[in-house]
Copies of this chain bind each other. A is one copy, B any other.
Amino acid sequence: MKARRATTKIGTRDPLATKAKILDAATREFAMRGYDGARVGEVVKRARCNINLVYHYFGNKEKLFIAVMERAYSRIRLHHKDMELRNADPQDAMRGLIVSTFRMFVDSPETIGLLVSENIHRARHIKNSPLIVSMYDALLDFMRETLDRGVATGVFRSGVDPTDLFISINAEGYFYLSNRHTLGVILHQDFMTEARLRQREAFITDVIMGFLRP
């Protein structure tokens, strides 16, 4: 009855593009509203496709979320892989890791939203993804090695637990961004201006590097 949409004519039928569009839309929706707040109706509206394609390609809402998580994690991994290649001196390597961790959170804001969701659900999705589970071993090795080299050359204090240091470096950026709304209200500031982000980046670097002094 209705006039046929122009897009139905030719050139449609692009499964890979459709899948990617759904994944992109789902990433935004899950990151913004969390798993429970997300609506698959919203995802298909953003992706401009029929709702059943979500079920055709991904099965159900939970499997869609897992697909989103795996893609997000492999992006983080890629990001960190770059870091590991740089074999500068220990202090430069550490500074690079700090800055790049913070910038990763700033530049891909969906990462934090997804992590928040995954922790509400007690990590039950990534727990079953061996890819993700083993992802951070290399990064921890890199941290340990950098730390050791710094201790050997006398620029770092000794006895620092690499795991705790890893958590701290992530915490400093993650919390600033994940809690920017409540922090904004109670501290009367806008934490997302470029100037404020630069200030935070410098502060985080100072905190960690200052702590690591012998």
Interface residues of A (CB under 8 A from B): 33-37, 113, 115-116, 118-120, 122-123, 126-127, 132-133, 135-136, 140, 157, 161, 163-164, 166-168, 170-172, 174-176, 178-187, 189, 199-200, 203-204, 206-208, 210-213
Contacts and interface: CB of A to CB of B under 8 A. Distances in A.
Q: How many copies does the complex hold?
A: 2
Contact of A174 (B115, B157, B175, B213): B175
B207 A168 contact: yes
A123 B181 contact: yes
Interface of A is mostly: helix
A140 B187 CA distance: 8
B167 A175 contact: yes
B120 A185 contact: no
A206 B211 contact: yes
A189 B171 contact: no
A186 B33 CA distance: 24
Contacts of A203: 161, 164, 168
B183 A167 contact: yes
Nearest to A162: B187
A8 to B, nearest CB: 35
A170 to B, nearest CB: 7
Contacts of A184: 123
Contact of A133 (B135, B174, B185): B185
A175 B171 contact: yes
Contacts of A207: 168, 207-208, 211
Contacts of A157: 210
B171 A174 contact: yes
A204 B165 CA distance: 10
29 contacts: A33-B36, A35-B37, A36-B36, A36-B37, A37-B120, A115-B179, A116-B119, A116-B120, A116-B178, A119-B181, A119-B182, A123-B185, A126-B185, A135-B186, A140-B187, A164-B200, A168-B203, A170-B175, A171-B175, A172-B172, A174-B175, A174-B179, A175-B175, A207-B207, A207-B208, A207-B211, A208-B211, A210-B212, A211-B211
